[in-house]
Structure 1
Amino acid sequence: MVNFKNYIRLIAIILLAGAFSSQELLAQSTNYEILFDGSSLDKWQSKNNPSSAMKGWKIDGGTLFMDGKGGGDIITKEKYGDFELVFEFNLTENANSGIKYFVDTIYNEKTGKMMINGPEYQIIDDYNYKGVKDDPNGSTSTGAAYLFYPPKNKQLKPAGSWNQGKIIAKGKKVSHWLNGKKLLSYTRGNKDYLKKKSENKFKDDKNYGELKEGHILITDHGDKVFFRNIKVKRL
């Protein structure tokens, strides 16, 4: 015979669980902070002007994307040091984007706020984007630490398909992942990293990749790339 009180209690638990989205429940169970829940950009701000609207960035069907040009990069309101960032992305043909980390802004009396750049998890259409196809070492392809380290053992799904990216940063060590596979790892500031930096366009940026913590940034290259399920865990 069913215990009526236990039955009512079970129904109450089910209803309470239903009040939370699946992402919220996942975040609670794994200590992730949801950065984009499919409906709000409350955790983000414009890179150049935190008080301005994030023009051009649209939310539709639980996804985030740049609709048009001139919206500009967006950054998290919070800064992160040791972290694990997980995100899903879906490229359109020939699209180019990326996620940067250890980014900060400083105040300049002449120009207002300006960005301290940071390492980038490259996101781009490897199959169609000419610049990537012509890149001899792959350091501009999806999953690369842009202009520093190329990805290995990559299984990128083509434009129109969802991929899952992951960045793990602990101390000076960083690793990039794609669809459950580790693509690369490197150490910020070590001899090899500094050599590569001296040979690329960031050679004069002394702060590039050197900050202990910083914002996470989604780039705007004027292309349509869809994002969803963006979450971060402090380590």
Structure 2
Amino acid sequence: MNRIVLLFAAVLCLFAFRTATSAADNQLTDQEKSDGWQLLFNGKDYSGWKCNNGKEIASDIVDAAMQPYKSGGYIIIHEKKYGDFILKCDVKMPESCNSGIFLRVENPNDPVHTGFEIQVATGNGTSCHDIGAIYDLVPTTTNASKGPNVWNSFEIKCVGPKMSVKVNGELVCEMDADEFDLPGERAIDGDHKYKLNGNSRAVKDFARVGYLGFQDHGHPVWYKNVKLLPLQ
């Protein structure tokens, strides 16, 4: 009898631990709530989100996930601006995918040239255009993708000039914006969107506070468990 009681108590303890450390999709765990995480997507609708051009998002919610395909804008953005933070989300890509997670967008009417983009893409490369790269600025050190049609986790941290990206728990890209103090400068040689645009600002002078969002780039990419921890 004592063994049965102890076993039952152990099962209850394990259940309580899992409840505290895990949650259903699009919900915060007890620990995340305690730590101050914010849930940016409720899994039901686009409350708190809009197209970068101000229009209402035309995309549907698909299986409790955002799918900003044919949204009516170039990216869908959250209504609040953020500066220093950790952003987590789960992403599922189709067989062919070229999309992105945008951060610190200063001007919603020009997200491409006034913000940073974390690349969401299929493929096995480690360039500035592969999954987890800070698009057109810093390539990845490794490709940690699980591939298309499965969920890949992203964790992006922004603190002052420093930015880092983890894909499926593996650190794949880091940047210190202060190191790029000349217009057109980036981690590798070659032309890129900031340089070709004739942008007179160096990357170090880009806004440290701005909008975040997900790109509508012609592929039905899915996003869920969008959570943010402010660090300011």
Report the TM-score range of the alignment, normalised by the length of the smaller protein: 0.7 to 0.9
The match for 2:224 among 216, 223, 228 is: 228
AA matched with 1:174: M
Partner of 2:6: none
Percent identical residues: 25
Instruction: Name the counterpart of 1:187.
Output: 176
RMSD value over aligned CA atoms? 2.6
After superposition, what is the alpha-carbon deviation per residue over 1:60-113, rounded to whole angstroms, capped at 9, x for unaligned? 22111134475431111000111000011010011211001110237xxxxxx5
Structure 2: gaps (5+ residues): 1-15
C-alpha spacing 1:175/1:103, structure 2 compared with 1 (3 Å): same
| Cα deviations by residue, 1:153-210 (Å, 9 ceiling, x for unpaired) | 3321111111001110011111011111111211113247852288422122327661
Number of residue pairs aligned between Structure 1 and Structure 2:
200
Q: 1:55-134 counterparts in 2 under 5 A?
A: 55=58, 57-68=59-70, 70-105=72-107, 114-115=110-111, 117-126=114-123
Contact 1:119/1:208 (8 A) holds in 2: no
State TM-score, norm by structure 1.
0.76
Give yes or no for contact 1:83–1:170 (8 Å, CA) kept in 2: yes
Is contact 2:101-2:214 (8 Å) kept?
yes
Partners of 2:181 and 2:68 in 1: CA distance: 35
Q: What TM-score do you get using the length of structure 2 for normalisation?
A: 0.77
Over 3 Å counting, the alpha-carbon distance change for 1:207 and 1:33 in structure 2 is farther
Q: Please state which structure has a larger fraction of its residues in strand.
A: 1
Q: What is the CA-CA distance between 1:233 and the residue it aligns to?
A: 0.7
State the SS of the aligned residue for 2:105. Answer: strand
Are residue 149 (structure 1) and residue 138 (structure 2) matched? yes
Q: What is the one-letter code of the residue matched to 1:24?
A: L
Pick from 180, 188, 202 the counterpart of residue 194 of structure 2. 202
Q: What's the counterpart of residue 36 of structure 2?
A: 31
